[in-house]
Structure 1
Amino acid sequence: MNVSRNSGGMGIIYFAWHGKAQEKAEIKGRLRDNWRLFADKVLDEGKPAGVNGVSRLWMRDDLFVCFALPQERHDRQEERLLEIGSDLQLDWEPRFMDAAFGGHVPELRLHTGVSFLDGGIDSEEERLYDGIKRAIVHGQSNDAAIRSLKRKALEHILDERLIQSVYQPIIALQPSVDALFGYEALSRLTDSRWFDGPLGMFQFADEEGLTYALDRLAREKAIEGSAGLADGRKLFINITAKIMNDPTFSPGQTLLLLQKYGLSPHHVVFEITERTSIEDFEAAKRILQHYRNQGYQIAIDDAGAGYSSLQSIVELKPDFIKIDRSLIRGIHLDSMKAHLVRTFADLAAKMDIKLIAEGIEEHEELNHIRSLGVQYAQGFLLGRPAPFPV
């Protein structure tokens, strides 16, 4: 492999097959007989778009492709390198499997890893060797190039505060006339290229150890966007259970932000999702009591769909329970769902907790949950998420 320095930058992409399927002699044999022929043919037919000076190096069945990148900012070069690696992996993996095996092979994946060649190393041999090592390390995890791109995208979202808040009405169910009680703040992405909606973004942030930062940004944007919330109305802000371990999750910082936008803790209900379990209830109770002392209220979200709904209700004694839409959908046609919601209503009444039914989409659902003693409701029937009304 000849490595030239007369370009904006040099990159390496590493390709190697991983997976338990290779333990089968037939799979291993077909890989050995076909993989190099396939990759060489594809590369001979045309270089990846946007690169020059493509060369390749084989180490047994592992392929290293080296090429020159255009002269541009380093961060854009890095993004381009990751995009090329990701695009080739997504293109080559199914094409090779179809050609060599006649279709998808479970537990067999084409891994890719990327690296820049270090311009600070004088020896061309050492420079290449160092780049190969770093590409191999990067490619050990599945979908490494895609994950790196998503990580960069998430960091960009955090740095540039690229989240928008929308607000879904929560309606108080009066005996005769329904009235606006408050809003749930929901996060939306300005660019959905890398994440399948906000939930996918938050799941990825959790995997990457960025939950605290993303949750904090979403909380701040929710407050910033709701300036002018009338007295007596509530702003429901989602937080994950684990966020209570965040050392920066302090009532002081949230209070200053609320005051900046003319709000107070009495406007805010922290909505704890039930899709992640609470591991230390004693610690959670201490933290939440500290918030209650400031005037905030607490809601348990997704009740009926999480891991420990009843325990969370009994231990944390929330001010509100939000009944998951899975129990509300078609409740007027399902006696078991109605019985479960009635059980929630009886428990809530004994504990002085208010119920909010989520996901109301039909008038029959609304009428039925009202008859079961549910005090509040939200859903598309009552109002879709939208920018805060001015």
Structure 2
Amino acid sequence: MACNHCVVRELNFQIKAHGELNLRVLPEVIHHLSRSYTIHKVEGNVITIKEAGVRDFLDFCNDHMESEQVEFRIDDQTWRPLSELPTVLDMEWIDEVITKGLVICYFQPIVNVREEIFAYELLSRFKKEDGSLIYPNEIFAAARNRGRLYALDRLCRMTAVKYAAPLNKKTFINFIPTSIYAPEFCLRSTVELANQLGVDPSLFVFEVVETEKVDDLAHLKAILTYYKDRGFEYALDDVGEGFSTIEMLLELKPHYMKLDMKYVQGVSSDPNKQKIAKQFLEKALEIQSVPLAEGVEFREDFEWLKQSGYQLFQGYLFGKPDPIPKQ
């Protein structure tokens, strides 16, 4: 069963009015919207409107109010200028993607030093009803704008678990820590599904992505502890980039450390990249984290990383993401 944050329900928009003219007109707005039953709540200069009435409000605002002195937000998001609201409304298509489960998974192999497949990373791909694909960055931008990130991340995790079940191999599954507000609620359905499918939890590696948006390390640790206590493993992605620093690595002690591709590509001939790659390798081994190099495209880089002590590798040299797992 999904938590409330992960269910796609009709959005409520909070509208905040400023300025003498807007405050004078506000009672008229409230009266008009009340007749169509789209007002949810009124608190001073803040009104909460159901999505069904938001376009009506926008029309009224453009005709009778100073729209530059009006803000909106969804749930507990930050306040935004009203000029951004039409974009949010136009992204309503993301709701259909989630409710209809229009997501599939592509498989990218992760290999060992002998170039044998050790695991697959499952990468979400999204499709329209006509079958055409939607780019992930477009999907996640829409989900953030409409407050659907919780629901989208859950859909991706659940879909990946289903795709992983028949493989009987380790599978790396991405998750966005900021989309999980309470692991005991948000992750319960993911764990239950894995158990229902009879998959050994140690075959799942949940991969922390977008660490640059994590401002609560204790919360992230709670999520990882929840996974670990139930037999799952976890990885830290893009190590060396942004907030995925040596300090973060030592703090989280992941089962797998994924060196960011900017230190992988060209490492065989770049002394600076070699120095950084070795630093992260040493720290990973120090905390018994398996070092994995991602974004490997050239054999000379693979050979250098292998000789240096990296144990796992991922990149186009070994296989691109594909709807059918490479054998």
2: CA distance, partners of 1:375 / 1:332: 16
* SS of alignment partner, residue 276 of structure 1: helix
Larger radius of gyration: 1
Taking structure 1 as reference, are residues 324 and 115 closer, same or farther at Cα in structure 2, changes over 3 Å only? same
Are 1:289 and 2:225 matched, yes or no? yes
Q: Which residue of 2 aligns with 1:187?
A: 124
What residue in structure 2 maps to residue 165 of structure 1? 105
In the alignment, what sits opposite 2:136?
198
What's the CA shift for 1:190?
Answer: 1.0
Inter-partner Cα distance in structure 1 for 2:99 and 2:268: 46
CA 1:290 to 1:189, structure 2 compared with 1: closer, same or farther past 3 Å? Answer: closer
Which structure has more RCO (C-alpha within 8 Å, separation ≥ 6)? 2
Superposition deviation, residue 388 in structure 1: 4.2
Does 184-193 or 292-301 show the bigger shift? 184-193
Question: Which of 215, 221, 234 pairs up with 2:170?
Answer: 234
Q: CA deviation at 1:145?
A: 3.1
Give identity over the alignment, percent. 30
2:263 maps to: 327
Question: What TM-score do the two structures reach when normalised by structure 2?
Answer: 0.71
Gaps of 5+ in 2: 1-53, 73-80
1:367 CA displacement: 0.9
Per-residue CA deviation, residues 86-136 of structure 1 (Å, 9 max, x unaligned), is xxxxxxxxxxxxxxxxxxxxxxxxxxxx9459xxxxxxxxxx968945995
Change beyond 3 A, Cα 1:211–1:249: farther
Instruction: Give the drift of 1:307.
Output: 1.9
Identify the residue that residue 310 of structure 1 maps to in structure 2.
246
Tell me: CA distance 1:293–1:247, structure 2 relative to 1, closer, same or farther (3 Å). closer
Residue 130 to residue 226, structure 1, CA distance change in 2 (3 Å): same
Partner-residue secondary structure (3-state), 2:212: coil
Q: Distance in 2 between matches of 1:328 and 1:249?
A: 37
Deviation at residue 343 of structure 1 after TM alignment: 0.6
Structure 1 segment 233-272 matched on structure 2, within 5 A? 233-246=169-182, 249-272=185-208
Describe the superposition over 1:244-292 as per-residue Cα deviations: whole angstroms up to 9, x where unpaired.
4245655532222113334231111110014424323233323322321
Matched-pair contact (CA < 8 Å) for 2:246–2:283 = no
Distance 1:189 1:310, change over 3 A: same
- Conserved? CA contact 2:183–2:223, under 8 Å: no
Could you say what secondary structure the match of 1:380 adopts? coil
Residues 141-150 or 265-274, more deviating: 141-150
Q: In the alignment, what sits opposite 1:382?
A: 318
Distance 1:133 1:222, change over 3 A: farther
Structure 1 pair 199/129, CA: closer, same or farther in 2 (3 Å)?
A: closer
Give the length in aligned residue pairs: 262
